[in-house]
Amino acid sequence: MSGSLSTAVNKSVDGVSARPDHEAEIAAVDLWTRAIERLKGRLSRHTFQTYFEPIRPVSLESDELTLAHSSKFMIDWVRDNLLDVLLQDLEAQHGVRCAVKFVVRERPFSDPEDSVSTPAQQTTALVTSSDPPPSARQLSINPKYSFDSFVVGPSNQFAVAACTAVANAPGKSYNPLFLYGGVGLGKTHLVHAVGNHALQKNPNSRVVYLSSEAFTNDLIHALELHKMPEFRARYREKCDILLLDDIQFLGNKKQTMEEFFHTFNALHEAGKQIFVTSDKLPNEIEGFEERLRSRFQWGLIADIQPPEVETRVAILKKKASNDKIALPDDVALFLGTHIRSNVRELEGCLIRLSAFASLTGAALTVDLARDVLKNILVVRGDKPDVEAIIRVVSEQMQVKPSDIKGDRRQQGIARSRQVAMYLTRKITGLSYPAIGEKFGGKDHSTVINAEQRITQIMGEEPEFRNMVESLLRRLNG
Ligand code: ADP
Ligand code: MG
Report the domain count for the chain. 4
Segments forming the whole domain that contains residue 401: 386-476
Who's near 452: CB < 8 A, 6+ residues apart? none
Of all ligands present, the nearest one to the C-alpha of 193 is 1
- Decide if 127 contacts 140 (C-beta within 8 A): yes
- Cβ–ligand 1 contact at 343 (below 6 Å): yes
Task: Report the separation in Å between the CA atom of 343 and the middle of ligand 1, taken as the mean of its atom positions.
Answer: 6
Exposed, middle or buried by CB within 10 Å (0-12, 13-18, 19+), for 53? middle
Residues 252, 275 within the same domain? yes
Residues 180, 237 within the same domain? yes
Residue 87 inside a domain? The answer is yes
Sheet holding 64-69, edge to edge: 56-61, 64-69, 99-104
Boundary (domain end) residue, out of 262, 277, 304: 304
Residues 359, 393 within the same domain? no
C-alpha to C-alpha distance for 452 and 418, rounded to whole angstroms: 9
Helix count and strand count (H, E) for the chain? 22, 8
C-alpha to C-alpha distance for 255 and 68, rounded to whole angstroms: 32
User: Which atom in ligand 1 lies closest to the alpha carbon of residue 311?
Assistant: 23
Residue 394 inside a domain? The answer is yes
C-alpha to C-alpha distance for 67 and 75, rounded to whole angstroms: 9
From atom 16 of ligand 1, which residue's Cα is the shortest distance away?
189
Compute mean pLDDT per 10 residues along the chain, 477 residues long, and list them.
35 43 83 82 76 86 87 79 82 84 68 31 37 40 92 95 96 94 94 96 93 92 95 94 95 94 96 96 90 91 92 95 91 90 88 86 90 68 76 89 92 95 89 88 92 93 90 82
Which CATH number is 14's domain given?
3.30.300.180
- Cβ–ligand 1 contact at 347 (below 6 Å): yes
Residue 4 inside a domain? The answer is no
Residue 380 inside a domain? The answer is no
Task: Report the separation in Å between the CA atom of 191 and the middle of ligand 2, taken as the mean of its atom positions.
Answer: 9
Task: Report the separation in Å between the CA atom of 50 and the middle of ligand 1, taken as the mean of its atom positions.
Answer: 14
Q: Is the pTM of this model over 0.95?
A: no
Of 342, 302, 269, give the one whose Cα is nearest residue 180: 302
Which CATH number is 367's domain given?
1.10.8.60
Mutating to test ligand 1, I would choose from 343, 345, 347, 349 the residue with most ligand atoms within 8 A of its C-beta, which is 343
Q: How far is the CA of 468 from the CAs of 40, 108, 138, in angstroms? A: 32, 30, 36
- Cβ–ligand 1 contact at 186 (below 6 Å): yes
pLDDT given for residue 50 in this prediction: 78
Residues 298, 314 within the same domain? no
Of 364, 363, 314, 369, give the one whose Cα is nearest residue 338: 369
C-alpha to C-alpha distance for 313 and 14, rounded to whole angstroms: 42
* Strand (E) or helix (H) holding 261: helix 254-269
Of 273, 359, 296, give the one whose Cα is nearest residue 91: 359
* Strand (E) or helix (H) holding 6: helix 2-11
User: Which atom in ligand 1 lies closest to the alpha carbon of residue 304?
Assistant: 3
Boundary (domain end) residue, out of 77, 104, 131: 104
Who's near 293: CB < 8 A, 6+ residues apart? 282, 283
Residue 91 inside a domain? The answer is yes
Task: Report the separation in Å between the CA atom of 409 and the middle of ligand 1, taken as the mean of its atom positions.
Answer: 45
Of 207, 227, 190, give the one whose Cα is nearest residue 267: 207
- Decide if 243 contacts 191 (C-beta within 8 A): yes
Mutating to test ligand 1, I would choose from 344, 350, 351 the residue with most ligand atoms within 8 A of its C-beta, which is 344
Task: Report the separation in Å between the CA atom of 306 and the middle of ligand 2, taken as the mean of its atom positions.
Answer: 14
- Decide if 54 contacts 69 (C-beta within 8 A): yes
Task: Report the separation in Å between the CA atom of 341 and the middle of ligand 1, taken as the mean of its atom positions.
Answer: 12
Residues 202, 337 within the same domain? no
Who's near 104: CB < 8 A, 6+ residues apart? 68, 69, 70, 71, 72, 75
Residue 26 inside a domain? The answer is yes
Residues 281, 133 within the same domain? yes
- Cβ–ligand 1 contact at 77 (below 6 Å): no
- Cβ–ligand 1 contact at 274 (below 6 Å): no
Q: Is the peptide bond before 282 cis (omega within 30 degrees of 0)?
A: no
Mutating to test ligand 1, I would choose from 164, 178, 183, 185 the residue with most ligand atoms within 8 A of its C-beta, which is 185
Boundary (domain end) residue, out of 104, 131, 146: 104
Task: Report the separation in Å between the CA atom of 196 and the middle of ligand 1, taken as the mean of its atom positions.
Answer: 15
Residues 292, 151 within the same domain? yes
C-alpha to C-alpha distance for 39 and 52, rounded to whole angstroms: 9
Angle at 147 between CA 143 and CA 151, to 5 degrees: 120
Residues 187, 296 within the same domain? yes
User: Which atom in ligand 1 lies closest to the alpha carbon of residue 186?
Assistant: 6
Residues 272, 328 within the same domain? no
Residues 256, 298 within the same domain? yes
Residue 378 inside a domain? The answer is no
Who's near 296: CB < 8 A, 6+ residues apart? 176, 178, 276, 282
Of all ligands present, the nearest one to the C-alpha of 344 is 1
Q: How far is the CA of 183 from the CAs of 151, 305, 315, 426, 467, in angstroms? A: 17, 10, 16, 22, 20
User: Which atom in ligand 1 lies closest to the alpha carbon of residue 343?
Assistant: 12
Return the SS3 of 466: helix
Of 455, 416, 448, give the one whose Cα is nearest residue 431: 448
Residues 230, 138 within the same domain? yes
Who's near 228: CB < 8 A, 6+ residues apart? 222
C-alpha to C-alpha distance for 39 and 59, rounded to whole angstroms: 21
Of all ligands present, the nearest one to the C-alpha of 249 is 2
Residues 142, 248 within the same domain? yes
Q: How far is the CA of 275 from the CAs of 165, 239, 424, in angstroms? A: 12, 12, 42
Residue 414 inside a domain? The answer is yes
Task: Report the separation in Å between the CA atom of 278 and the middle of ligand 1, taken as the mean of its atom positions.
Answer: 14
